Structure 1
Amino acid sequence: MVKTVIFQPAEVKQAAKLIQAGQLVAFPTETVYGLGADATNEEAVKQVYLAKGRPSDNPLIVHVSSLAMVEHFAAEIPAKAKQLMDRFWPGSLTIILRVKPGTLSKTVTGGLDTVAFRFPDCQPTLDLISQAGVPIVGPSANTSGKPSPTTANHVYHDLNNKIAGIIDNGPTRVGVESTVLDMSTSQPVILRPGAVTKQDIEGVIGSIDINHHQVKQDEVPKAPGMKYKHYAPNAQVYIVDPADDWGEVAAVIAQSKEQVGLMATDQVLHAHVWSVQADQFSLGTGVQEASAHLFEGLRDFDNQEEIHQIFCQGFEPTGLGAAYMNRLNKSAGGAHFRDLLNK
Structure 2
Amino acid sequence: MTEEINNCIKILKEGGLILYPTDTVWGIGCDATNPEAVKKVYQLKKREDSKALICLVAHQAMLERHVREVPEVAYDIMDLATKPTTIVFDEPKGIAENLVAEDNTLAIRVASDKFCQYLINKFKKPIVSTSANISGEPTPKQFKDIAPEILKGVDYVVNLPDVNKNAIPSSIIKLSNDGQVKVIRE
Task: State TM-score, norm by structure 1.
Answer: 0.50
Cross-structure match for 1:47: 40
Match among 130, 133, 145 for residue 142 of structure 1: 133
The size of the alignment, in residue pairs, is 184
Tell me by how many angstroms 1:111 deviates. 2.7
Q: CA deviation at 1:174?
A: 4.3
- Post-superposition shift, 1:112? 2.5
CA RMSD after TM alignment = 2.0
Q: Which runs of 5+ in 1 are unaligned?
A: 1-7, 194-343
Aligned counterpart, 1:162: 153
Q: Is residue 192 of structure 1 aligned with residue 177 of structure 2?
A: no
2:101 & 2:71 partners in 1: Cα distance? 22
For 1:149 and 1:47, the matched residues in 2 are separated by 20
Q: Which of these residues, 25, 50, 58, is aligned with residue 32 of structure 1?
A: 25
Displacement, 1:67?
A: 1.0
Deviations 1:63-83 (A, max 9, x none): 010111111111111111111
Cα contact 2:142–2:167 (8 A) shared by 1: no
Match 1:21 to one of 14, 20, 23: 14
Residue aligning to 2:87: 95
Paired residues of 2:133 and 2:140 also in contact (CA < 8 A): yes
| Residue pair 1:63, 1:137 contacting (<8 A) in 2 also | yes
**Which amino acid is the alignment partner of residue 111 of structure 1?**
E
* Distance in 2 (alpha carbons) for counterparts of 1:54 and 1:171: 27
- What letter corresponds to residue 43 of structure 1 in structure 2? E
Q: Identity across aligned pairs (percent)? A: 29
Question: CA separation of 1:9/1:53 partners in 2, compared to 1, >3 Å: closer, same or farther?
Answer: farther
Instruction: Determine which of 113, 116, 121 is the counterpart of 1:130.
Output: 121
Matched, 1:77 2:77: no
Alignment of 1:1-343 (within 5 A): 10-88=3-81, 91-101=83-93, 103-155=94-146, 157-167=148-158, 168-184=160-176, 185-193=178-186
Conservation of the 8 A alpha-carbon contact between 2:58 and 2:120? yes
5+ long unaligned stretches in structure 2: none
For the pair shown, the structure with the greater C-alpha radius of gyration is 1
Supply the AA of the counterpart residue of 2:168. V
